[in-house]
């Protein structure tokens, strides 16, 4: 199972927005006492009758803006959302269901129970889980200048730096490997040594891999309407991730593989300096 990363979460968001925006929650079913955190027994009372005003994303969190508060949802390691008819039978790992006034149920399936579901009142972006997040990688705030300034005098590996959500959100392991390959930067290189032109290439590469993954996800949106469908993890053409020992798609050199921050890291020793 592939961990949901920013493109999967964004595709999920785009998939459910047309079906749930403006709809009213008629009930919620909780079949687990806790996911990553305990599921509040107050959730059914808090959510019943709430109208979904908007569904937004911050990093890998989905924010359901409701009449009186915000439902914050994180898919965790193995979670996914699907829209199903309200009378469809739940499976073993379908721990949470939100029922809507159009006979539709938003079903949260989470085999490893690492997801998060919280009801927030007040300004959601000030919540401790969100307040310290760095800029969105596809926003105008994520620039080469920003990355250059934040990286000065830092000796941390470039890959770990771009995977730090306080620096930029949503660059998971697969996308970090791919972006560094595209940018021609060695993952282990001290980030403080990057020249301005390199931070330019790196920010562009991060935007490119995430944008391509979201665009590919668009073809799988129907899955979220189909009880038998699988979540949309995308057949992005991968140049680095999962290809250790195989020839580099640019120069043919065997790709190297090691662990960096305990995550699989693959790079071309010739193309990535």
The size of the chain, in residues, is 273
**5 flagged as catalytic:** yes
Site for Zn ion in 39-58 (CB under 5 A): none
Out of 98, 248, 260, 266, the residue judged to bind Zn ion by CB under 5 A: 248
Catalytic residue among 58, 60, 159, 201: 60
Q: Which is nearer to Zn ion, 32 or 250 (CB)?
A: 250
Q: How far is the CB of 208 from Zn ion (least distance, A)?
A: 18
**34 flagged as catalytic:** no
DSSP H or E run through 209: helix 196-217
In this chain, which stretch among 119-127, 170-178, 224-232, 253-261 interacts with Zn ion, using CB under 5 A? 253-261
In this chain, which stretch among 12-20, 30-38, 73-81, 261-269 interacts with Zn ion, using CB under 5 A? 261-269
Question: 226-235 contacts: CB < 8 A, separation 24 or more?
Answer: 226/82, 227/82, 227/84, 227/85, 227/88, 229/82, 231/4, 231/8, 231/12, 231/80, 231/81, 231/82, 232/8, 232/11, 232/12, 232/15, 233/2, 233/4, 233/8, 234/7, 234/8, 234/11
**263 flagged as catalytic:** yes
In this chain, which stretch among 84-92, 106-114, 215-223, 241-249 interacts with Zn ion, using CB under 5 A? 241-249
**60 flagged as catalytic:** yes
Out of 127, 150, 154, 270, the residue judged to bind Zn ion by CB under 5 A: 270
By CB under 5 A, how many residues form the interface with Zn ion?
7
Q: Each residue of 64-97: b (16+ CB within 10 Å) or e?
A: bbbeebbbbbbbbebbbbbbbeeeeeeeebbbbb
Question: Rule CB under 5 A: is residue 182 a binding residue for Zn ion?
Answer: no
Q: Measured between alpha carbons, how far is residue 218 from residues 96, 137, 191, 214 in Å?
A: 25, 19, 33, 6
Question: Rule CB under 5 A: is residue 271 a binding residue for Zn ion?
Answer: yes
Catalytic residue among 36, 154, 207, 263: 263
> Looking at the annotation, which residues are catalytic?
4-5, 60, 263
**Binding footprint of Zn ion on the chain (CB under 5 A):** 248, 250-251, 253, 268, 270-271
């Amino acid at each position: 199972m592939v961990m949901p990363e920013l493109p999967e979460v964004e595709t999920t968001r785009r998939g459910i927005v047309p079906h749930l925006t403006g709809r009213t929650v008629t009930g919620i079913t909780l079949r687990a006492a806790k996911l990553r955190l305990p599921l509040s027994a107050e959730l059914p009372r808090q959510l019943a009758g709430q109208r979904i005003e908007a569904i937004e994303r911050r990093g890998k969190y989905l924010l359901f803006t409701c009449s009186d508060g915000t439902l914050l949802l994180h898919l965790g390691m193995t979670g996914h959302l699907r829209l199903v008819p309200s009378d469809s039978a739940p499976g073993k790992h379908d721990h949470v269901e939100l029922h809507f006034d159009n006979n539709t149920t938003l079903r949260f399936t989470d085999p490893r129970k690492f997801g998060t579901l919280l009801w927030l009142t007040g300004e959601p972006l000030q919540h401790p889980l969100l307040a310290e997040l760095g800029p969105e990688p596809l926003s105008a705030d994520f620039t080469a200048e920003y990355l250059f300034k934040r990286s000065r005098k830092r000796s941390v590996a470039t890959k770990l730096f771009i995977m730090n959500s306080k620096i930029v959100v949503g660059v998971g392991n697969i996308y970090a490997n791919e972006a560094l390959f595209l940018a021609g930067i060695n993952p282990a290189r001290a980030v403080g040594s990057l020249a301005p032109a390199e931070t330019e290439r790196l920010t562009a590469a991060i935007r490119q891999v995430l944008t391509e993954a979201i665009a590919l996800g668009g073809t799988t949106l129907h899955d979220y309407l189909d009880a038998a469908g699988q979540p949309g993890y995308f057949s992005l053409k991968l140049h680095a991730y999962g290809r250790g020992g195989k020839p580099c798609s640019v120069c043919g050199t065997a790709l190297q593989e090691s662990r960096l921050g305990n995550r699989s890291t693959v790079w071309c020793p010739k193309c990535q300096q």
